[in-house]
Structure formats: structure tokens, C-alpha cells
Structure 1
Amino acid sequence: MGDSFDRELEDLPQALRWREWMGRVEAVLFASGTPVGREVLAQVVGRDCALDLLIADIIAELADRPYEIARVAGGWQFRTRSRHAAALRVARGDEAPTRREMTEREALVLTIIAYMQPITREAITRVTGKEVSRDLIARLHRQGLIARGPRSPEPGAPYTYVTAAGFLEAFGLDTLRDLPDLEAMQDAGMLQDEGDIGVPVGEE
């Protein structure tokens, strides 16, 4: 960023400085099609700016607007509120949401990867009791929901799979620690037994 860019705005009264910082952060988020991290936003505000409070003020101002700022995948992103999804589809001429809905089988495999990552395709097969095809893994990969992880120490060193940033974005999660607990998943009818998934992310 060039030397001419004044981050600190020390010549402005505190209230005006805060408003200018708010405008800068909002502009950066508005212009980005992907979540913007703290380190990027920190480049357009002063060193002493409380970024979380600043964004909270922007969110409050947008309370009555058809869009919002959401915390997603470790950053912030502008999103249209869900209640306007149908209107957007009509305006675009879409008959259905652009993202293909997952099958129950795909959702189960994605859930297992989310909770047990890194995990191999063979291990997923053992958990589900049914063969998990390479095509199914490839479909989740093409949607940006999963990615290849490190190779497993198992014989043959197969690839493992992990969730990708697109997984957090698709489900509106900030981090994997925002995943629902296993009991909630069981109550929703997605899992039959806690042993089917194992230890949640972040626990041993």
C-alpha cells in the first residue's frame, strides 16, 4: 500500500475517524466475493482501531437492510439475507438454487470427513459400512467442500481428506469448532450412534 494512504487519520476528530474506518472496511467487504480476513482489514484502519467493535457498528447499521456482514471461514463477508433468496432467484431467472442439493449419502460422507479429518476413503467406508466411491469424493471436491489432506501412514500411503474453506462458507461457519455436537446430530437423525463418528474436531 502506498505511502500516500493515511491509515491513522490523526488529523480527524475521533468520531469522524471512526466513521471513515467503518466506510473503508465496508467498502473492502463489499468489493470482495470471498471472506476477508482480519489481517487484510487491519491494513485500511489505524493501529489502535478495535476492529471487532468497528464491524459490530457496521452490522448494527445494516440491521434493516436486505444484506448483512457474516463471520465466515475465519473472516467477514457480505451476504444477502436468506429471506430474500427467492426474490434473487426470480430476478436471475433461476428455477432452483444454483448449488445442487447433496444426496443423503454425500451429506453423511461430508459429515464424517468434517468430524474425523484427516480421514481416508477406506476409513470412511469402514465407518459407513458401505463402499464410498471415488466419484462421490470427486463430487464433493468439485464443489469446493473437501480437499486432499496429508497421506496416511497406512500401507500404500493413501491420501486423506479434509474440509476446505468452501465447507465453512457453504454452511456459514467461522471455524470447525462451530460444528454442532454429536448429540445434536443424532437428535437431527443424521447419525445413529456416537461411535459412528468418533471424537469431534478439537478434542482428543
Structure 2
Amino acid sequence: MTRTAITSEAKQKHTRPKEAGREGVFDRELEDLPQELRWREWMGRIEAVLFASGTPVGHDDLARVVGQGASVEMLIEDIKTELIGRPYELAQVAGGWMFRTKTQFADVIKAAADLGDQSMAFTEMEMGVLCAIAYHQPIDRAGLKDIFGKDVSRDLLARLRFKELIASGPRAPRAGAPHTFVTTETFLVTFDLETLRDLPELDLAVADNGEQ
């Protein structure tokens, strides 16, 4: 036996047990369970992942905890059906799914425990700048100045960045190639949007008046 063959065989002996052990830790397929129990277990796994996450979880991540033949979409629909009448729901947001409290219970939650998130309160100017970025991204400070007729302060932009609602985009094709601004996944989640295509259509007349 050559040295290469011996080395190859040694590698196989060391790697195979690890792979087998790794597969044994988590059983996706659950073939030892009846179909109905298997489906319930998959539903429970998806719920557990979503409850543990503070951000939307995408299809591919959820597919990792269920069998290869299982439909994530069908499992999601069954979970939604079970949540009818509950104070929370399973929503599709920012390209994934997440649990959220139904809007009719917002005042109740705030009154009971004062859980209102003041960090997401906006001034009129902050909301205006955020909307301008959302609709015109990628846009730089010069572009924002064209819209508002005055400079937008770096402090205001820093506050929006601190709230993780905006981030740096590609360089603008202007002298000095300044950074542009774009919205983030947090922006989509905050305003209950699945994608930017869900933004309401702008009233052009209002937009034109705002730029003058």
C-alpha cells in the first residue's frame, strides 16, 4: 500500500465518525414517527426557531430543521391556522417569517407593562428623511438637499443609522464619490413591509410640492 493510500484511509477513519456523529445529533427526517406526529414535530420546530429569533427567518433557514420532502410553506400555513384567535400572528416580513403581536393589542401591552419602544419614535424631519431615502435610494446628502432645500444634518442621519433603519450604499457618481444611503431589513420590519415594492405609491403632486 502506498503512503498516499495509507494517508487517505487514515483521513477517512477520522472523518467518518465525526460526520456520522453530527448527523446523529439532529434528525431532520424523523422517519421513525408516524406521518401525523412527524408533521406536528416539524411545525413545533419551525415555531421554536421563529420564537427564538428577533428578526425574520428565511425559507432556507427553516428548511434546515424539517425533512427534505416537507413544504415549509404548508407548515407555515398550518401554524397560521392554529394561531387564529390568538393575540399574536405569524407574518411574512422582509423576505422571511416572524411572530408579532396583533396591532389591536398594542395599547393593551403598553398600558400593562409600558413596553412601548421609545427608541423608534421619530421627529417629523427624521420621518421625512427616512421616506426620502426609502423612495430615492441610493441617495447621498446632496440628493437629500435637493429634496428638502437645505442640508440634512449628519446627526439626524446618524440617529437613523443608530436605529439600524439606514446603512451605507454604493458610492455616488459625483465629485469625491460620496457615500449614499439605503434602507435596511430593520426598516422593512419596522414598517411591516415584505419588500420595498410594498411601499405605498407616492402622490407626485405632494412630492413636487415638498421639493419646492
Using structure 2 for the length normalisation, give the TM-score.
0.82
Question: Which of the pair has more CA radius of gyration?
Answer: 2
In structure 2, do the counterparts of structure 1 residues 153 and 98 end up closer, same or farther at CA, with 3 Å as the change threshold? same
In structure 2, do the counterparts of structure 1 residues 90 and 2 end up closer, same or farther at CA, with 3 Å as the change threshold? farther
Match of 1:105 among 122, 125, 129: 125
| Residue 199 (structure 1) aligns with | none
Equivalent residues in 2 for 1:71-82 (5 A)? 71-82=92-103
Contact 2:56 2:98 in 1 (8 A): yes
Alpha-carbon distance between aligned partners in 2 of 1:44 and 1:61, rounded to the nearest angstrom: 20
Equivalent residues in 2 for 1:123-134 (5 A)? 123-134=143-154
| Residue 152 (structure 1) aligns with | 172
Contact 2:93 2:193 in 1 (8 A): yes
**What percentage of aligned pairs have identical amino acids?**
55
Give the drift of 1:48. 1.5
Alpha-carbon distance between aligned partners in 1 of 2:119 and 2:107, rounded to the nearest angstrom: 14
In structure 2, do the counterparts of structure 1 residues 119 and 66 end up closer, same or farther at CA, with 3 Å as the change threshold? same
Corresponding letter in the other structure for 1:61: E
**Deviations, residues 80-110 of structure 1 (Å, cap 9, x unaligned):** 112222222233245x543342122211211
The structure that is helix-richer by fraction is: 2
Structure 1 gaps, min length 5: 197-204
Contact 2:120 2:163 in 1 (8 A): no
In structure 2, do the counterparts of structure 1 residues 194 and 12 end up closer, same or farther at CA, with 3 Å as the change threshold? farther
**Deviations, residues 22-68 of structure 1 (Å, cap 9, x unaligned):** 11101111111221111211110111111111101101110111111
SS of the residue corresponding to residue 192 of structure 1 reads helix
- Are residues 1:170 and 2:185 paired? no
Contact 1:182 1:194 in 2 (8 A): no
SS of the residue corresponding to residue 78 of structure 1 reads strand
Structure 2 gaps, min length 5: 1-20
More divergent stretch after superposition (78-87 vs 169-178)? 78-87
| Residue 141 (structure 2) aligns with | 121
Using structure 1 for the length normalisation, give the TM-score.
0.85
> Per chain length, whose mean CA-contact separation is higher, i.e. which structure has more relative contact order (CA < 8 Å, sep 6+)?
1
Alpha-carbon distance between aligned partners in 2 of 1:154 and 1:10, rounded to the nearest angstrom: 60
Corresponding letter in the other structure for 2:44: G
| Residue 140 (structure 1) aligns with | 160
More divergent stretch after superposition (100-109 vs 41-50)? 100-109
Contact 1:72 1:174 in 2 (8 A): yes
Q: What's the RMSD between the two structures over aligned residues?
A: 2.2
SS of the residue corresponding to residue 69 of structure 1 reads strand
